[in-house]
Amino acid sequence: MKLHELTIHQARSLLKSGEISALELTTAAIDRILQVDNEVKAYLTLTPEQALEQARQADARWDAGEDIPLLGIPLAIKDVICTEGIPTTCGSKILENFIPPYSATVIERLRAAGAVILGKTNTDEFAMGSSTENSAYFTTHNPWDLSRVPGGSSGGSAAAIAADECLGALGSDTGGSVRQPAALCGVVGIKPTYGRVSRYGLVAFASSLDQIGSFGKDVTDCALLLSVISGYDPRDSTSVNRPVPDYQAALLPDVRGMRLGVPREYFIEGMQPEVETAVRAAIDLLAEMGAEIVDISLPHTEHALPVYYIIAPAEASANLARYDGVKYGFSFPDATDVWDAYRKTRQYGFGAEVKRRIMLGTYALSAGYYDAYYLKAQQVRTLIKQDFDRAFELCDVIVCPTAPTTAFKIGEKADDPLQMYLSDVFTLSASLAGLPGLSLPCGFDGEGLPIGLQIMGQTFDEPTVLRVAYAYEQATDWHTRTPTL
């Protein structure tokens, strides 16, 4: 096996035994990026010199007898997470030359754990999108078929993992942006419970929904990354102060006696038949392994899409008001007065999808419409959360598809926002309810494109989600398959 193909836990063992060095591992990852990223386009910014220096330091620390979770492991970071001294563009022209003066809490935690940072990955602008086609810079391509999207908005991170251009990655998930690209790229991605991972230094899209999650080549790697980034942070007012369990200890290849809920609302008309077949086969396998399958209902599921597209744009319209061309970021140079400067900066700085969502959100919050739209959406959000509360009285986790289809062609849905929004129809509810969700590979369609199985858990019950995912993964070989580039 080549070094860039290793999982984090495999690389850790080899680093610990001294069979490989962090410098060799990081060099292999950089070489791989140089070999394939012209086609995949996963990265917006590369930091090879910094990465090699971090690798040398990691080797010195291994030699000195240190053993910390990610020492010498090369990772990629979605470009919506602030990294001191490294550009953080959010995939937008408005932040094209922005270099943050500080790092996000998750970056501090990765560095404290010894990680090597290779660079920043492409994203839909301000994380608004399901295909990474909304980046102001370029579209990322799916490593399984370069004519298709990798999903979004964390498409760059998912594609980088699938193409072996890093060993692990961070993304952010507001309505499915870790889970959906993980499904489309055939990798593992987890969105933790809202409040489990600090949002300090994550550039805000929708503050009541955004959560940073992790991507890995397998469930073990996801659990390892999640353990490092989780935990209370007083700098984030939404961070929850409760102990972080040992996620590694939860990885047991056993689901006997566990109750798995299958929501009837998640198998709908218009789904790609091969997706339903693969997900049903995965559920059958879990039943053969000793799990009890429970038929459940989440009756307000059909409202999740409209609720999300009122609440998220409303929060975005408030969060994105700060990009005015005055304090930082792009500023339109030839304005006639201050109002003209504001207008032109935002006109030329933001892309079409971001403008669309700002207008949707501003309308929903405007006088005379606030009660009719925003307030009502928040009330229905509560009903969606209550559906999950009732369902979890009957089951331990919920299993269902991650996305209704496999990866679609680049440009196929670009002119149809509603069809694009429907790509997240199975992931939005967990985000609205603040629940943890994970996607892992469970098969392929006739075109050889990966299919994702989604596992959702109760609040702060990531260990059970990881356990079911690990048990399924150990019983199958989907996660071992890689695209040929």
Q: What is the mean pLDDT of residues 46-62?
A: 98
**Cβ atoms 256, 289 nearer than 8 A:** yes
Query: How far apart, in whole angstroms, are the C-alpha atoms of residue 68 and residue 258?
Result: 33
Q: What is the mean pLDDT of residues 40-48?
A: 98
The answer to whether position 452 is within a domain reads no
Distance, CA of 347 to chain centre: 28
CA 267 to chain centre: 23
Residue 345 forms part of a structural domain: no
Q: Which residues contact 64 (CB under 8 A, 6 or more apart)?
A: none
Assigned domain for 17 exists: yes
d(CA 158, CA 187): 7
Cβ-proximal residues to 176 (8 Å cutoff; 6+ apart), any chain: 130, 402, 403, 423, 424, 426, 427, 428, 431
Is 17 part of the annotated catalytic residue set?
no
Segment 6-12 mean pLDDT: 98
78: annotated active-site residue: yes
Is 210 among the domain residues?
yes
Residue 100 within a domain: yes
Strand 437-444 relative to strand 450-457, pairing = antiparallel
For 388-399, the pLDDT digits (tens) are 999 999 999 999
Read off the pLDDT of residues 166-220 as tens digits, 9 standing for 90 and up.
999 999 999 999 999 999 999 999 999 999 999 999 999 999 999 999 999 999 9
pLDDT band at 417 (very low <50, low <70, confident <90, very high): confident
Q: How many domains does the chain have?
A: 1
Closest Cα to residue 60, out of 71, 70, 47, 50?
71
Decide if 369 is inside a domain. Answer: no
8 Å CB contact between 272 and 404: yes
CA distance 436 to 413: 28
**Of all residues in the chain, what percent carry a pLDDT higher than 70?**
100
Q: Which of 103, 172, 177, 227 is an active site residue?
A: 177
Query: Tokens 């999740």 appear where?
Result: 304
Residue 69: inside a domain, yes or no? Answer: yes
Residue 418 reports pLDDT greater than 90: no
Residue of 41, 78, 191, 217 with catalytic role: 78
Q: Kindly name the residue from 130, 153, 198, 431 that is annotated as catalytic.
A: 153
Tally of CB atoms within 10 A around 429? 32
Amino acid at 251: L
Query: 423 catalytic, yes or no?
Result: no
User: Residue 133: what pLDDT?
Assistant: 96
In DSSP notation, 138-167 reads ----BTTBTTB---SSSHHHHHHHHTTS-S
Tokens for 232? 């209370």
Strand, helix or coil for residue 401: strand
Q: Residue 88's domain spans which residues?
A: 3-258+465-480
Q: In this structure, what CATH number is given to the domain that contains residue 63?
A: 3.90.1300.10
Instruction: Answer whether residue 384 is part of any domain.
Output: no
CA nearest 8: which of 52, 77, 69, 66? Answer: 69
Residue 333 class from Cβ within 10 Å (0-12 exposed, 13-18 middle, 19+ buried)?
exposed
Q: Measuring CA to CA, which residue among 399, 397, 381 is closest to residue 461? A: 397
Instruction: Tell me the CA distances in angstroms from 26 to 78, 106, 225, 280, one per residue in order.
Output: 18, 20, 18, 39
What would the DSSP string read from start to end of 87-104?
---TT-GGGTT---SS--
415 band by pLDDT with thresholds 50, 70 and 90: confident
pLDDT tens readout for residues 267-286: 988 899 999 999 999 999 99
In this predicted structure, the answer to whether residue 422 has a pLDDT above a threshold of 90 is no
Give tens-digit pLDDT for 97-113. 999 999 999 999 999 99
Q: Phi-psi category of 395—alpha, beta or left, where left has phi over 0 and alpha has psi -120 to 50? A: beta
As a whole number of angstroms, the distance between CA 276 and CA 302 comes to: 18
* pLDDT tens by residue, 236-267: 999 999 999 999 999 999 999 999 999 999 99
